[in-house]
Structure 1
Amino acid sequence: MSIQIRSISPQDWPQIMAIQAECYHQLTPEPLSVMSNKAELAPDCCWVAEYQGRVRGYLLCHPWRANQPPSLSVTMTALAGAQEFYLHDLAVSAEVRGMGVGQRLLATALTFASNKGYQHAGLVAVQDAPTFWRKQGFVPSATAKSLAEYGEGAVYMRLSLTEPA
């Protein structure tokens, strides 16, 4: 069986929340209302990876202001600008790590963002993720926002989605 990448559907949330709880050990996991809020505001920008009939990974994205990551655990009432394609949360179950699930989800998101005309993708790398994101081409970038709520060692990172001239 292969890994299927598809848009999030309402029945996926219990599995998504279980993956979030499994993956985040240095942060308090965001509540379901905050997580599902991303998919409500930007349904075309949120995906799951399904393997053997179960959700094994997810990626929540949305348009946002460049260099100003959104606050954690806060429900958004509207999307703030469309200057950057913001990758809010990528998590993959340990059951499928090493199978390229994160890279497949990321490729789906970056293709979507490029096709929509975004010039940059941004994110805050937490826990031990900065190394993963560097391997994907993201580089640390300045932000005036405090990243304390994201945990020790959090790094704001960006990726250009346009080819250099």
Structure 2
Amino acid sequence: MINIRTIRAIDWPAIMEIQRECYHQLDPEPLEVMSNKAELAPACCWVAERQGKVLGYLLCHPWRAHQPPPLSVPMRRLAGHDEFYLHDLAVAGEARGIGVGQRLLATALEFASDEGYEHAGLVAVQDAPAFWRKQGFLPADTLKSLDEYGDGAVYMRLPLAEPA
């Protein structure tokens, strides 16, 4: 059984290992930058675990629509609240294909909808744009250069359903 829960301090070594495993076109973000998101938005940063082992993570936070945050820079504060921003979703190789990413995403989108967000946004990197299209995200305009996100990076958004 896969359990989704908010991130705890003891999860960071596993999260950092999963990040190192998953990102081959970008330099991994340092722990200070990764944990900064959970410090500023602890209710919307999750891990997926099975039998106590972290299999994947999703770091999210409120942000300004159409203006993705910089990579590898700690945030002093959350900038804007008009978009629920999915900063980083990664799943360990051993857990791919069993629904970990979809479970993390479903948790995040339900949270965002319940909190009243109208859109979720992200920058898809490496070979991820196809995955995000399958989840309903569509390319969207941004005035910000995405060069720091690597070749082929795409800013994408998803309209969220109204809370029931």
TM-score when scaled to structure 2? 0.98
Q: Distance in 2 between matches of 1:13 and 1:104?
A: 20
User: Which residue does 2:29 correspond to in 1?
Assistant: 30
Unpaired segments ≥5 residues, structure 1:
none
Q: Write the distance in 2 (CA, Å) between the matches of 1:98 and 1:162.
A: 26
Note the C-alpha offset of 1:162. Answer: 2.9
Structure 1 counterpart of 2:114: 115
Query: Match for residue 17 of structure 1?
Result: 16
Query: Secondary structure of 2:68's partner?
Result: coil
Three-state SS of the structure 2 residue aligned to 1:105 is helix
Cα distance, 1:53 vs structure 2: 1.8
Correspondence 1:49-128 to 2 at 5 A = 49-128=48-127
Between the aligned partners of 2:95 and 2:10, the Cα distance in structure 1 is: 20
- Secondary structure class of the residue paired with 1:145: coil
Paired residues, what number?
Answer: 162
Name whichever of 5-14 and 46-55 sits farther off. 46-55
**Matches of 2:47 and 2:150, distance apart in 1:** 25
Aligned equivalents of 1:132, 1:9: Cα separation in 2: 27
Query: 2: CA distance between counterparts of 1:74 and 1:65?
Result: 16
Measured against aligned partners, the alpha-carbon deviations of 1:84-137 in whole angstroms (never above 9, x if no partner) come to: 000000000010100000000000000000000000000000000000000000
1:141 aligns with 2:140: yes
Instruction: Determine helix, strand or coil for the equivalent of 1:73.
Output: coil
Structure 1 consecutive aligned stretches of length 4 or more whose deviation exceeds 2 Å: none
Deviation of 1:30 after TM superposition, in Å, equals 0.2
Aligned partner of 1:130 in structure 2 is 129
Letter in 1 for 2:94: E
Q: Give the RMSD, CA atoms, in angstroms.
A: 0.6
Deviation at 1:52, TM superposition (A): 2.7
In structure 2, distance between residues paired with 1:159 and 1:4? 25
Q: Partner of 1:151 in structure 2?
A: 150
In 1: Cα distance, 2:61 partner to 2:52 partner? 26
Normalising by structure 1, report the TM-score.
0.97
